[in-house]
Each structure stands twice: as C-alpha cells, then as structure tokens.
Amino acid sequence: MTDAALADARPASAAHSDAAAPHVDLAALYRDSGIGEVLGELDRDLVGLAPVKTRIREVAAHLLVERARASLGLAGGAPTLHMCFSGNPGTGKTTVALRMAEVLHRLGYIRRNHLVSVTRDDLVGQYIGHTAPKTRDVLKRAMGGVLFIDEAYYLYRPENERDYGQEAIEILLQTMENQRSDLVVILAGYASRMEVFFESNPGFRSRIAHHITFPDYTEAELLDIAERMLDTMHYRFDAASRRAFADYLARRLRQPNFANARSVRNALDRARLRQANRLFASALQGGEPIDAATLTLIDAADVRASRVFDAPTPSSPSPSTARAVAAPPG
C-alpha cells in the first residue's frame, strides 16, 4: 500500500489529532531571530576559518532547535553554553566571540548583546584579599552577557605557591555553574596550553560544552586579509607591491613569533610609515604636489624595506611549527 493510501486508511480522529498537534515553524523562527544576518556577517567579514564558521553554525542551529523545543514544552533544561576557543594568536577568536554573543542574544540565551574581554591581570590580585573583589567585579560587569577570558591558562601557575590565580578559578567555576543561565564564559588561548590547563582544572573541562579550534591562515588568506585591511584604511597595493607583500609573507611565515592577522596588521603599519617618510622626503626635495592615488599607494619599496628581506629565508622549521614557537600573547 502506498503512503497516500496508508494516510487515507487512518481513522479520521488520528488525522484530526495530527492537524491539531502543536507545532513550530523553524524557518520562521530562524528569520525572526535575525541570526542569519549575524552568520552572514561572519562569512563576509572573516577570511577563511571554514571549520570555525561551520561549528558556529552548528551551535546556532542546536540552540535554535532547543528554543523550538522549549516553545513546545520539550525543553530538557537550559543548555550549557560555556565555550573554549583554541588557536594561535591573530586567528579571529575575539571577533568570533563578539559574533557568538550576538547570536546568543538574538536567540534569547543572554539578556544583553554584551562581551567583556579580560586577561589574568583583570581577575587576579597581587596580595591577600585582592583577588576575590577583582574577580567578582568582572563577573558583575559581564553578567547577562559573555565573559571572554584570553590566555585563560595563565590563571593557573602551580610553580608559584603564593599565586592567587586558584582563588579566581574557584570563583569562576562557582559562577559558571550557579549563574549559567545568565552568563556565558568563553576561554581562549593556545590549544596545547589550554589542554594542560583543562587537565589541571577538571572543573573547567566539565563545564565547557563547545570546544572550537581556530586554524592558522594560509598565505593566500593572509594576503586577502592584508588587502581588506588596507581597503578599510584607504590604502592599496599595486601589482608590484602585492607581489612584494606575498614574498614578505612567504618569508615571515618561516620565522618565529608570527601571529597571523595581527602580524599582518603590524607589517602594514610599518609599510605605511615607510610610505609616509618616502613621500615627505620627496616633498622636502622639491617634489611635485601629490594626488590621492599617490597618497593611497603602498609601493613595493615600502614593503621590501622590511628587515624580513635582510635575513636568509630558513628552510626550517615549517610555517606551522614556526607560528607555534614563542608566539606573542594573543
């Protein structure tokens, strides 16, 4: 018997029951929440990070369905929303945290579209009795929104017997459990160090629902990021300077302390300084008045004046290893 025939064969009371059963329109819920706009901005504004964007969409979909279930009386309790963002510096963790706060707010999981970003220094005091009020003040400011703790592993310093980080950890853990319906905590930092941190603090691991890994950017993605940054500052590359910056990236990636988009921004700032000095020197030597095209152009000389080009390009370590060695905090 076909499905249509089976449907026709059901008792009228069953058909009526199906029609009268409460239901929810997920597509309408998605449109009304406006999270599609946030996810679209995430796709447009951030280069690469495909696995991160996928995980954020998965989390958003899960929370949307949980909201739908709650509307039909099917909620199984408030979902755990605390997260961990692991990755090297300059991979967009703070930016994604801001977008995540907006998603949570639009879906009604937090009261305010509000993110408070802190580090150890904002939470841990220097003497007895100083840590608790500092930590509680931060929590008070973040309540109703998202607390983003960068380099969270620095809260735990077992080598220092007089360190007060453990006190901050205990207050955070208690708040994450007792106030989880009114505060979302996102921990961030290097993947390897975060793993050690979680091994030392199982209470944190048990409270983290979502672990999201942020990959390093490729050379092509970094070049795209550089051009986007220049565009927002009303600067530009020409063909020669674009090749020069691609060469710069190939060399810089093989050196230590590379911090992804953060290092790209620093390199562009130095190139802009060289451009300004070049134009100023030309003007002092009797150069002609300059137009907007000249003022906006970063030329190849501005890029190749970097000290990166003075050093031989090392054959090792590999780019991924070099980024992970002694990278600056971020």
Residues 6+ apart with CB under 8 A from 17: none
**Interatomic CA distance for residues 167 and 123, integer angstroms:** 10
- 18 or 291, higher pLDDT: 291
What is 219-324's CATH topology?
Answer: Helicase, Ruva Protein; domain 3 (1.10.8)
pLDDT per residue over 56-74, tens digit each? 999 999 989 988 888 888 8
3-214 and 219-324: identical CATH topology: no
Domain spans of the chain, in order of start: 3-214, 219-324
CB environment 129-168: b (16+ within 10 A), e (fewer): eebeebbeebbeebbbbbbbbbbbbbbbeeeeeebbbbbb
Peptide bond into 328 cis (omega under 30): no
Q: Looking at the predicted structure, is the pLDDT value of residue 285 above 90?
A: no
Nearest CA to 49 out of 103, 105, 99 is that of 99
CA–chain centroid gap for 76, Å, is: 29
CA–chain centroid gap for 184, Å, is: 15
What is 3-214's CATH topology?
Answer: Rossmann fold (3.40.50)
The reply to whether the predicted model has a pTM over 0.75 is: yes
pLDDT per residue over 188-244, tens digit each? 999 999 998 998 888 888 889 999 999 999 999 999 999 999 999 999 999 999 999
